[in-house]
Amino acid sequence: MPASARDARFRLSPDLALTLAEQFGTPLYVLSESHLRGRIREYRAAFRAVAPGSRLVFASKANSTLAVLKIAHQEGCLIDVASEGELRAALLAGIPASDCHLHGNYKTMPELAFAFAAGVGEIVVDSFAEIEMLSELARSEAPPSAMVAKAIGLPAEEPVRCPDLVIRVAPGVDPATHQKISTGQDDTKFGFNLADGSAERALLRCLELGLPVVGFHCHVGSQLLDPEAQRAGGEAIAQLAADMLRRHGFETKVLNVGGGLGVRYTDADDPMAVEDYCRLVVEAMRAPLEGTGLDPVLMQEPGRSLVAEAGVTLYRVGVVKTVPTGEGRTRTYASVDGGLSDNPRPALYGSRYTVLRAARVDQSDEGEAGAAKFTVAGRHCETDKLFVDVDLPADLAEGDLLQVLCTGAYNSSMASNYNRFLRPATVLVREDGSLAPVQRRETYDELFAREILPAL
């Protein structure tokens, strides 16, 4: 199938863009409920077709908006959380803690205690120090503190239970992706190294302490357009499962190969069909298990690949100006009313996006200009080049609306208040076409609520 035929990225019609801008202002995050639900169903069906009984876990770091978490859970996903804050978000969305998995390379004792008291379904173990903290909590006969109990709605006398544990493995796989989102190589802060025996020692220590360890986990990186790294990671943890059965009689019940399938940020990106991706990854995981008698539940942990293409960001164009760049050349800047505080990824990773004019300020002009190169810049006190040398209509003017495709992941969740800008609202386009605000625009009162000005 040609890449263009698989391009199902959500985008706004001119009428809808104008309506959204008028009702909710800009910059604005917009999510399509039907796109998000459809993508989750597609991914779950593809995974279950090759691995019956498998589970999909939504990586909430991609977008932890409560509405997104609730939709993902309604569509059958477990929820991966990487902090107490993300766990609290899932609980506020009405998701049982038992359907949540807690991640993190540095979990504090209070954070682990909160997860125990809440009753999370699984903790992904990341260090030997964490194993000792888990053992201490598991041995404790004390009920959760009154503060924790109140926060999660449990009686203060309720005893705690150690959740199931899976050991995160660094399988020594270096994927073809940006180095800042590559996590499966030997030199990583995440998990237990496979090559030096740390993963095996972590399992033995858990067993020695009587902790309820059930399997292994790995995550080699994000935005993977080639499945080979993910296949290698899955094969590595499956081989570890086979080796641990042979050496120590440990029966692996869960293997989680993490997430990573890439999305279509630009027309040049050509992510693999999810059906092919799931088939190839599962085949790699099953090969080492043949003849062992092991039949673990297989899990994947996608985030970006579920929600990214369901979202757009809507901006209004402000200043448009052309400047000389030397040797007779020029650059035309179109500054918009957002920037790196609502999308830091271009500054962090050099990320590129598809940028389209969503609506014209002058609706009376029916003509359509040819294309010209623009650099879309933010309004922050930095260089803040959001999107460099993108093709837009040559008559782009102040007041026009731009939509940036594929911003459903890592935009809202990474937004900041740099330069004291307010974080944008998020609006959900419901399946029936109605508009539901799911995050209101931040106010200046909220922005300064944390400030304490002492007598000076």
pLDDT in tens, 74-112: 999 999 999 999 999 999 999 999 999 999 999 999 899
Q: Over 60: is that where the pLDDT of 179 sits?
A: no
- The band of 225, judged by pLDDT with boundaries at 50, 70 and 90, is confident
| Contact residues for 246 (Cβ-Cβ < 8 A; gap 6+) | 292
Angle at Cα 66 formed by Cα 61 and Cα 69, nearest 5°? 60
Rounded to an integer, the average pLDDT of 329-349 is 95
Q: Residue 300's pLDDT is what? A: 96
Rounded to an integer, the average pLDDT of 160-181 is 74
Q: For residues 230 and 221, what is the distance between their CA atoms, to the nearest angstrom?
A: 8
For the chain, percent of residues with pLDDT exceeding 70: 90
Determine which of 143-152, 266-275, 432-441 has the lowest per-residue pLDDT on average: 143-152
Structure tokens at 164: 């199931």
Q: Over 70: is that where the pLDDT of 366 sits?
A: no
Q: Over 70: is that where the pLDDT of 368 sits?
A: no
- The band of 451, judged by pLDDT with boundaries at 50, 70 and 90, is very high
pLDDT in tens, 24-44: 999 999 999 999 999 999 999
Tell me, yes or no, if the pTM score tops 0.75: yes
Question: Which phi and psi (to 5°) does residue 282 adopt?
Answer: -65, -40
Residue corresponding to tokens 């459903």: 408
Q: Over 60: is that where the pLDDT of 54 sits?
A: yes
Angle at Cα 155 formed by Cα 153 and Cα 159, nearest 5°? 115
Domain residue ranges in the chain: 33-304, 309-447
Q: Over 70: is that where the pLDDT of 177 sits?
A: no
Burial label for 164, CB within 10 Å (0-12, 13-18, 19+), is middle
- Closest by Cα among 355, 360, 352 to 404: 355
Q: Over 90: is that where the pLDDT of 157 sits?
A: no
Alpha carbon distance, N-terminus to C-terminus of the chain: 68
* CATH code for the part of the protein at 33-304: 3.20.20.10
Helix (H) or strand (E) holding 23: helix 14-24
pLDDT in tens, 62-72: 999 999 999 99
Q: Residue 369's pLDDT is what? A: 72
Q: For residues 30 and 312, what is the distance between their CA atoms, to the nearest angstrom?
A: 5
Q: Residue 347's pLDDT is what? A: 92
Rounded to an integer, the average pLDDT of 393-406 is 97
pLDDT in tens, 229-241: 889 999 999 999 9
For the chain, percent of residues with pLDDT exceeding 90: 81
> Which of 100, 278, 381, 406 is flagged as catalytic?
381
Is-contact 115 101, C-beta < 8 A? Answer: no
Q: Residue 150's pLDDT is what? A: 60
Q: For residues 447 and 364, what is the distance between their CA atoms, to the nearest angstrom?
A: 39
Residue 377 pairs with which residues in a beta bridge? 335, 385
Instruction: Determine the distance from the C-alpha atom of residue 38 to the mean position of all C-alpha atoms in its chain, rounded to a whole number.
Output: 17
Question: Which phi and psi (to 5°) does residue 249 adopt?
Answer: 70, 15
Is-contact 318 35, C-beta < 8 A? Answer: no
Architecture of domain 309-447: Beta Barrel (2.40)
| Contact residues for 357 (Cβ-Cβ < 8 A; gap 6+) | 392, 393, 396, 400, 401, 402, 403
Question: Which phi and psi (to 5°) does residue 114 adopt?
Answer: -65, -45
Query: What mean pLDDT is reported for the chain?
Result: 91
Please name the residue ranges forming H helices in 140-197. 146-152
Is-contact 182 230, C-beta < 8 A? Answer: no
Q: For residues 446 and 427, what is the distance between their CA atoms, to the nearest angstrom?
A: 19
Rounded to an integer, the average pLDDT of 294-318 is 97
Q: Residue 395's pLDDT is what? A: 95
- Closest by Cα among 416, 410, 309, 428 to 68: 428
Q: Over 90: is that where the pLDDT of 423 sits?
A: yes
- The band of 178, judged by pLDDT with boundaries at 50, 70 and 90, is very low
Domain 33-304 shares a fold with domain 309-447: no
Q: Over 80: is that where the pLDDT of 365 sits?
A: no
- The band of 183, judged by pLDDT with boundaries at 50, 70 and 90, is very low
DSSP 8-state code for residue 436: E
Structure tokens at 110: 């209070």
- The band of 155, judged by pLDDT with boundaries at 50, 70 and 90, is low
Scored b (16 or more CB within 10 A) or e, 25-35 reads ebbbbbbbbeb
| Contact residues for 88 (Cβ-Cβ < 8 A; gap 6+) | 151
Structure tokens at 35: 């796109």
Active site residue 278: no
